Amino acid sequence: MIYLTESIPVQAYAERVSGNNRTVVNNDNVSIVIKFKDGSIGNIFYSALGDKAFSRERVEVYCEGKTFVIEDFKNSYYWLGGKTKKFKTLNQEMGYKEELKHFIDVITGKDTPKIQYEEIYYSTLCVFKINESLSKGQVIKI
């Protein structure tokens, strides 16, 4: 989300499904809200409760009158001015191979990092603050 907003996170709040249902793994069902320095808000919803046939990975971005949706890293949609464009990849492209290749290229001196240290730092810190929010049940400043 730091990449999309071009801003750093300033607070995080997270809740997990609770109750006495022993078939529900609490950490497999979490809702997270992250506020960014520029005022943007990011939501992450992770759940293992739904039907397996439904898309497991979904990214939605709303900005400047546009909407973007990526489903399972296979199908992408773009809405603008009431019109929709659909893009489809042949395979599920999640970027793992490219990420590993880039990492090897960086450590062998063939390339420079594409992610700034500050982004890595705040992304990692945000994960810890999300976990703290889950423990304390309150908004945590980053």
Radius of gyration of the chain, Cα coordinates, nearest whole angstrom: 18
Residues 46 and 73 placed together within one structural domain of the fold: no
d(CA 85, CA 68): 10
pLDDT of the chain along its 142 residues, tens only?
998 899 999 999 999 987 666 665 677 889 999 999 999 999 999 888 888 888 878 899 999 999 999 998 889 999 999 999 999 887 777 788 899 999 999 999 999 998 899 999 999 999 999 999 999 999 999 9
Q: What is the DSSP track for 19-35?
A: SS-TTS-GGGEEEEEEE
Asked if residue 71 and residue 49 are part of one domain, the reply reads: no
Shared-domain flag, residues 43 and 109: yes
Query: Largest alpha-carbon pair distance within the chain?
Result: 53
Q: Which domain holds residue 17?
A: 2-57+94-141
Q: What's the rounded Cα separation, in Å, for the pair 49 and 52?
A: 9
Do residues 11 and 52 both lie within one domain?
yes
CATH number of the structural domain spanning residue 120: 3.30.360.10
H-helix segments, 42-112 = 96-107
Tokens of 75: 């199908």
Tally of domains in the chain? 2
- pTM, full prediction: 0.81
Same domain, 118 and 101: yes
